[in-house]
Chains A and B, each alone.
Chain A
Amino acid sequence: MTKIDIIQNVCDKLGFSKKDSARIVESVFDIMKDELARGQKVKISGFGNFVVKEKNSRRGRNPQTGAEIEISARRVLTFKSSQVLKKALNQK
């Protein structure tokens, strides 16, 4: 599934034109991206939470050479699935 399929679903179910559906769907992901880029979390009930986490710097190794390197502090995006979604994936 890609964005095009999601746009098609909105189009079919809501009766919006392809163009209008595309604008709304693009806007959904753009706004989520902007919010996450600002370090804010995005909570979608029934789906899951997107959370930006701060990682401290740590020592790591280059698995190829074994050389020790410093991994700098960074911010990473994590996704925690909602219980509802987890259950949906495990229903028979």
Chain B
Amino acid sequence: MTKRDLIARIQEQLTEYPRKDVAHAVEIVFESMVQAMKKDERIEIRGFGNFTVRKRDPRRGRNPMTGASVDVPTRRFPFFKVGKDLKERVDRKKQDIG
């Protein structure tokens, strides 16, 4: 499923909203999350999961092509921790058992 499919699916369920507005709303949802992470803010979506910004230490790396040593600065990256409910739903084998 892509963002476009997601927008289409929402519109099937909430037919009273124009497609343009639904598409715009979906953009705002993800853009809000990007902006929050840029500010190092933690995002908590209950029932879905949490997004946090983690840091990787600076290190001395190597250019794999030339073997030249390069400094890799501290880098920030998003980390997603799946929520308990969704984790259980995704692991259907667990559901089969109980």
Could you tell me which A residues sit within 8 Å of B by CB distance? 1-3, 5-6, 9-10, 13-14, 16, 20-21, 23-25, 27-29, 31-33, 35-37, 39-48, 50, 52, 72-77, 79, 81, 85-86, 88-91
Specify which chain A residues have a CB less than 8 angstroms from the CB of B32 in the assembled complex.
1, 5-6, 9
A75 partner, pick from B33, B45, B75, B93, beta carbons under 8 A: B93
Question: Contact at A14–B24, with CB atoms within 8 Å?
Answer: yes
Rounded to whole angstroms, the CA-CA distance of A45 and B22 in the bound complex is 16
Rounded to whole angstroms, the CA-CA distance of A27 and B10 in the bound complex is 6
Question: Contact at B25–A74, with CB atoms within 8 Å?
Answer: no
Question: Contact at A21–B25, with CB atoms within 8 Å?
Answer: yes
A44 partner, pick from B3, B9, B76, B94, beta carbons under 8 A: B3
Specify which chain A residues have a CB less than 8 angstroms from the CB of B78 in the assembled complex.
48, 79, 81, 85-86, 89
Q: A24-B10, A28-B26 are in contact. Are A43 and B46 (CB under 8 A)?
A: no
B60 within 8 A of A: no
Given pairs A24-B22, A76-B90, A89-B53, 9 additional interface contacts (CB within 8 A): A1-B42, A25-B25, A31-B6, A36-B89, A75-B91, A77-B90, A79-B80, A85-B34, A91-B38
Rounded to whole angstroms, the CA-CA distance of A25 and B75 in the bound complex is 30
Specify which chain A residues have a CB less than 8 angstroms from the CB of B61 in the assembled complex.
none
Specify which chain A residues have a CB less than 8 angstroms from the CB of B53 in the assembled complex.
89
Rounded to whole angstroms, the CA-CA distance of A56 and B72 in the bound complex is 34
